[in-house]
Amino acid sequence: MPAPPGRVLLLGGTTEANALAERLAARGVGAVYSYAGRVAAPRARPLPVRVGGFGGVPGLRAWLRAERIGAVVDATHPFAAGMSANAVAACAAEGVPLLAFERPAWRAGPGDRWTQVRDLAAAAAALPREPEVVFLAIGRQGLAPFAARPEHRYLLRLVDPVEAPPLPGAEVVVARGPFTAAGDRALLAAHRVARVVAKNSGGVGAEAKLAAARDLGLPVIMIDRPALPERPVAGSAEAVMDWLAHEARLGL
Ligand code: NAP
Ramachandran quadrant class, 52 (left: phi over 0; alpha: psi -120 to 50; beta: rest) = left
Going from the Cα of 37 to the center of ligand 1, the distance in angstroms, rounded, reads 8
Please name the amino acid found at residue 96.
Answer: V
Q: What is the CATH number of the domain that holds 31?
A: 3.40.50.720
Report which protein residue has its CA nearest ligand 1's atom 30: 13
The answer to whether residue 118 sits within a structural domain is: yes
Atom of ligand 1 nearest to the CA of 83: 3
pLDDT tens readout for residues 13-22: 888 899 999 9
**Domains held by the chain: number:** 2
- The reply to whether ligand 1 has any atom less than 6 angstroms from the CB of 73 is no
| Per-residue pLDDT, 40 | 81
| Per-residue pLDDT, 3 | 43
Claim to verify: residue 88 and residue 179 sit in the same structural domain: no
Q: Which residues pair with 49 in a beta bridge?
A: 33
Report which protein residue has its CA nearest ligand 1's atom 13: 36
- The reply to whether ligand 1 has any atom less than 6 angstroms from the CB of 194 is no
Going from the Cα of 77 to the center of ligand 1, the distance in angstroms, rounded, reads 8
The answer to whether residue 252 sits within a structural domain is: no
The answer to whether residue 2 sits within a structural domain is: no
- The reply to whether ligand 1 has any atom less than 6 angstroms from the CB of 80 is yes
Give the length of the chain.
Answer: 252
Q: Which residues pair with 222 in a beta bridge?
A: 116, 198
Claim to verify: residue 99 and residue 145 sit in the same structural domain: no
The answer to whether residue 1 sits within a structural domain is: no
Does pTM top 0.75 for this prediction? yes
Report which protein residue has its CA nearest ligand 1's atom 40: 79
Mapped onto helix, strand or coil, the DSSP state of residue 231 is: coil
Claim to verify: residue 184 and residue 153 sit in the same structural domain: yes
- What is the side-by-side strand order in the sheet with 114-117? 114-117, 220-223, 195-199, 133-137, 153-158, 171-174
Q: Give the residue numbers spanning the domain of 188.
A: 114-223
Claim to verify: residue 214 and residue 239 sit in the same structural domain: no
- The reply to whether ligand 1 has any atom less than 6 angstroms from the CB of 21 is no
- The reply to whether ligand 1 has any atom less than 6 angstroms from the CB of 58 is no
Going from the Cα of 218 to the center of ligand 1, the distance in angstroms, rounded, reads 30
- The reply to whether ligand 1 has any atom less than 6 angstroms from the CB of 14 is yes
pLDDT bucket at 252, cuts 50 / 70 / 90: low
Claim to verify: residue 213 and residue 240 sit in the same structural domain: no
pLDDT bucket at 2, cuts 50 / 70 / 90: very low
Burial degree of 109 (CB within 10 A; 0-12, 13-18, 19+): exposed
DSSP string, 76-137: --TT-HHHHHHHHHHHHHHT--EEEE-PPPP---TT--EEEESSHHHHHHTS-SS--EEEEE
- The reply to whether ligand 1 has any atom less than 6 angstroms from the CB of 13 is yes
- The reply to whether ligand 1 has any atom less than 6 angstroms from the CB of 185 is no
pLDDT tens readout for residues 130-185: 999 999 999 888 899 999 999 999 999 998 999 998 998 899 999 988 899 999 99
Query: Do 70 and 96 form a contact (C-beta atoms < 8 A)?
Result: yes
Claim to verify: residue 118 and residue 97 sit in the same structural domain: no
Claim to verify: residue 206 and residue 180 sit in the same structural domain: yes
| Per-residue pLDDT, 5 | 65
The answer to whether residue 109 sits within a structural domain is: no
